[in-house]
Structure formats: structure tokens, C-alpha cells
Amino acid sequence: LGPVTTSESKLKHLVPRLQEALVEHLGHDGGKRILSLAVERVLSRPYSMVIIWRLKTQDDLERIVSKTVVHHPENLAITDRANQAIVEYEILLALSRRFQQVEKCSVPRPLAIIPELETYIMEFVDAGNLADDLRYARYLAAREGFDCLAEHYYHCGCWLRHFQEFTGIRRAGPEVLDAAVDRCADRLRLIEQAGDRHWPAGLGERIMTFLHEQQACLSGEEVLVTGRHGDFGPWNILVGSNGITVVDFLGYREDTIAIDLLSMLVLLENECHCLTSSGKRLAAVRDRFLEGFGPVPPVQRPVLLICESLHRICTVWGCISQGRDDIRRRIERGRSLQHNRDWLSQLGKRKLLWPAD
């Protein structure tokens, strides 16, 4: 094995099981024999352990990726609901076939699943992270880099439209919003517990009362639902010459059609709080994203209010829970926290980010 940097015992346990699963998978796939399987890199995250492996077979040397679910206390609502390795594996299997026909838009092809280890294996995507490319939306950044960034966001819009089409769009009762409202309550609880001086006591309760009223307004109505990525943002999008590849389907489920689109719009608005960001460039990136998506579907205002509130609440929690960092980042986080807090405290009186609002 190559150098192992973290969770030594978990890794030791995983390696032989993974090897076993791979031998079985590759045996079916043309009878290849594994000569060696070495750890190249371990990405130990709060919600997962991603390992990049070097796989040597008789006629090939390739990289593959395993992702193992971590049961983090902040994510138990998702990880206790179902085996998320199976959830991710299955949706990737369905989507990877469909995205084959879509230019510049893809998902990693899954290779095997080991349910008892809450692990699945997928192909390695040799690409950078779109979050790093947001630096091209700053003043004085290279024009070519910015054009490329805008193009990637256009493809993100295309990807989302196809994703919704592939997973299917249908009508459902307003109870589908329960998950979003519950997540708001959960994150607001954490925010209030943190006792940050920028978050007034009692605001969380006012917001929750407002969100329950919004849900009540929808009683007897139907809302549009589709597949939800659940964490649709540049941090989960890999970019290279083949366009964009969206990763990380942890928590995939059916949800309101507005949720993923608004996730990206809230993120792009939030980038404006970066001290060197160009508002004009970010607006152009947003327009390209929406152009890629195409016409937005009709969605009731209460649904939009719930979705946008959820993303803003998560943004506030992100600002509060972030560890110590440099002064510039602290200022940016402070700006973002205050802006989102002010939006939330206006209880629906502010303009929404949804393009038709």
C-alpha cells in the first residue's frame, strides 16, 4: 500500500473488502486479474471518506475512487434514513447511462457497491473543482479564465435541466416540503445553540413560524417535484476539457423542483461578499447558468420562500460553524452572515432570487 495518512484502522479494514469487491466486478467485466491495489490519496471529510486508488491489472494501470459514508451527528437525518452508498450508487448508475448522450455534462460511472461497508466504487474523474475557478469572477482575473468559468456555469444549467428530465417531473402534495422545513428547524437549532452575537435570540422561532405559515398556504395544492441532488454547488462539480461532472449524491431524493436551482443562485449571490469579487462578472455567470437551464418552471411563491430560506439558513450556519481563518475570510463571512440574517428576518418581504420573481 502507498502512504496512509488517516483513519488507519478503517482503511486496513476497507482494503481487503474493496479488493474482494473489485475482483468480483472486474472478473465479470472481461476477466481481468488485479495485480495490485494501492492507496494514492485519502480525502477524509466530515460526511465521507473518499479514497483514490491505483489499480494495476494485467493490461492496465488506472485510478478508481471509493466513497464510504461517515455518520456525522449533523447529518443523521440523511444517513439514518437509508444506506447512502446504495442511494448514491443507484442514482449514479441510472444517470451515467442517460448522461452519455449529453455533451459536456456527466456524472462518474459507478463500478461496484459494498453495502455492508457503506461504500461504493466509481471511476476516477481527472478534473479540477469548479469552486476553485470562481477566482476568475474577481476583479483583474484573466479574461480567458472568466470566459471558461461562464461556460462551465452554462453547462451546470444544462446539467440540472437534464438531471430533472432524467429523474422525472411530477406533481405531489405539499408534504414533500416537510424535509426542507425540518432541515431549516435543524440548522436553526444549531445556529441558536452556537450563540453567535450576530444572531439575535428568538429569530429562529420567528422564521420557523413564518415557514409553517407558508406550508399551510399550500394546503390542498400540488407542487412540482423531481430528483434533488441536495448539495448542488461548485464544490461538488468537477471541471475539465470534457465539461462538467457532478459528484456527491449523498441525500439524493425527490423534492421540489426549485431546490437545486436555488442552491446555486444563493451560492452565486453569496460570492458577492468576497472582497475582491466583481458583481458584474458574477451576474454574467448567473445569467449563463440560467441560460443553460432554460425557462424556469412555474413554482408557487411559498415553495420558493421555503427553499430560499433553507439555503440562506445553511449559509448562515456555514459562516458560524467555519473554523478559524484569516482576517479577510472572517470579514467576508461576517458580511455574508449579516446579509442572509437580514434577508431572513424580513420574513418574505425581500425580492426572491428565482428569476420570475
Ligand X SMILES: Nc1ncnc2c1ncn2[C@@H]1O[C@H](COP(=O)(O)OP(=O)(O)OP(=O)(O)O)[C@@H](O)[C@H]1O
- Interface with Mg ion (CB under 5 A): 236, 248
* Residue 21: partners with Cβ closer than 8 Å, 6 or more residues away: 112, 113, 114, 121
> Of 57 and 96, which has the nearer Cβ to Mg ion?
96
- How far apart are CB 355 and ligand X at their closest, in Å? 27
Residue choice 247, 285, 310, 319 for contact with ligand X (CB under 6 A)? 247
The listed partner (ligand X, Mg ion, none) that binds 125, CB under 5 to 8 Å by sort, is ligand X
* Residue 193, all three cell numbers: 445553540
- How far apart are CB 130 and Mg ion at their closest, in Å? 12
The answer to the question of residue 47 lying near ligand X (CB under 6 A) is yes
The answer to the question of residue 65 lying near ligand X (CB under 6 A) is yes
Determine the number of helices (DSSP H) and then strands (DSSP E) in the chain: 11, 12
The listed partner (ligand X, Mg ion, none) that binds 49, CB under 5 to 8 Å by sort, is none
* Residue 228, all three cell numbers: 434533488
Judged by CB under 6 A, the chain residues 135 through 164 that form the site for ligand X are none
* Residue 88, all three cell numbers: 448514491
- What are the start-end ranges of the H helices in the chain? 8-28, 76-79, 84-99, 130-133, 143-167, 178-194, 203-217, 259-271, 279-293, 301-321, 327-345
- Residue 100 Cα distances to 106, 137, 243, angstroms: 7, 30, 12
Among the candidate windows 71-79, 96-104, 122-130, 339-347, which touches ligand X by CB under 6 A?
Answer: 122-130
The answer to the question of residue 50 lying near ligand X (CB under 6 A) is yes
Q: What are phi and psi of 29, to 5 degrees?
A: -95, 60
The listed partner (Mg ion, ligand X, none) that binds 65, CB under 5 to 8 Å by sort, is ligand X
> Of 84 and 278, which has the nearer Cβ to ligand X?
84
Among the candidate windows 77-85, 118-126, 206-214, 284-292, which touches ligand X by CB under 6 A?
Answer: 118-126
> Of 121 and 177, which has the nearer Cβ to ligand X?
121
Q: Could you tell me if 40 and 50 are in contact, meaning their C-beta atoms sit under 8 angstroms apart? A: no
Task: Measure the CA–CA gap between 337 and 320, rounded to whole angstroms.
Answer: 8
Task: Measure the CA–CA gap between 197 and 178, rounded to whole angstroms.
Answer: 30
> Of 67 and 288, which has the nearer Cβ to ligand X?
67
3-state secondary structure of 165: helix
Task: Measure the CA–CA gap between 183 and 77, rounded to whole angstroms.
Answer: 9
Contact pattern from residue 3 through residue 42 relative to ligand X, giving x for each residue in contact according to CB under 6 A and a dash for the rest: ----------------------------------------
* Residue 84, all three cell numbers: 447512502
> Of 176 and 262, which has the nearer Cβ to Mg ion?
262
The answer to the question of residue 230 lying near ligand X (CB under 6 A) is no
> Of 48 and 79, which has the nearer Cβ to ligand X?
48
Query: Which spans of this chain sit near ligand X (rule: CB under 6 A)?
Result: 43, 45, 47-48, 50, 65, 67, 108, 122, 124-125, 129, 235-236, 247-248
